[in-house]
Chain A
């Protein structure tokens, strides 16, 4: 049986990599490797996961320098020979080992007004949104985000400008901007405008390249840029 040489980040922001040897198995995921270390070698290793099937978005880590969801990433796809380097997500404070503090990431969803606001009550009729309408299609393209933070970790602009809302929050805002039932769009467009919002994006497309759900946050941000510019020209941003 071959052996994987795995370097895992241990400690907080000022920690270091520690090496482990893990048996290499068929169809082994990176999360399997981390779980093996925690269960068989060093039970003090901290990491986060829940569903193991790519739905919950909690197991994202930096694997060989790239942010990935570890439960759906096969070792065979990413190992450099028999080597794996596993670190916490970049652009987020490290709590311990492979666990990051996601508070700022989700606070930015709030700042981008990522909550749906409608004007109907449970006594009203259901809204009818044709599946083929352009707005509904635009929503469909971005709605499957699982909030894993991979795009945020891969984003250069977040690393340069900590106030930048980031791809996931802006993608969420774009799905709501296209939700015909939502009534908060004027405030939402103001919230995502300017130097800390969609206009800070340089269209590097790291988020789109790395998104494990194959979403295109860059496209969502591009749509927001245009929509916000029109609102600014109409004097609707204040």
Chain B
């Protein structure tokens, strides 16, 4: 991978970290609100179904995770095992796509 791409990956990880900081906070507040008010699964689904706002929020959350986690994993794997190069980058790309697919599937199941 060219050094410019490596730098842009670093930038993407920092930017996604900023998004994650907000998303995790909102997500935690939502969980605390739901449990403290004794909302049932049906009541939660009643609020998330057909809500474009929740859909957009959790899609942004999933996108940030799918960008942030694989880039960090790439650095950790390479430092811990010495594995570097194209095969690692392809595996990391696959990990990101897998995380995105699982995340979108989960978000869609509470939206549709």
Contact = CB atoms under 8 A, between A and B. Distances in A.
Tell whether A and B belong to one assembly: yes
Interface of A: 157, 160-161, 190, 193-195, 197, 199-200, 225, 228-229, 232-233, 235, 237-238
B10 A225 contact: yes
Contact of A200 (B4, B8, B75, B80): B75
Contacts of A237: 3-4, 7
B75 A228 contact: no
B43 interface: no
B79 A228 contact: no
B6 interface: yes
B78 A161 contact: yes
Contacts of B3: 190, 193-195, 197, 237
Interface string B4-44: 10111011000000000000000000000000000000000
B7 A229 contact: yes
A112 to B, nearest CB: 13
B7 A228 contact: yes
A193 B11 CA distance: 12
Nearest to A238: B4
A238 B79 contact: no
A233 B11 contact: yes
Considering residues B10, B78, B84, which has the most beta carbons from chain A within 10 angstroms of its beta carbon?
A: B10
B86 interface: no
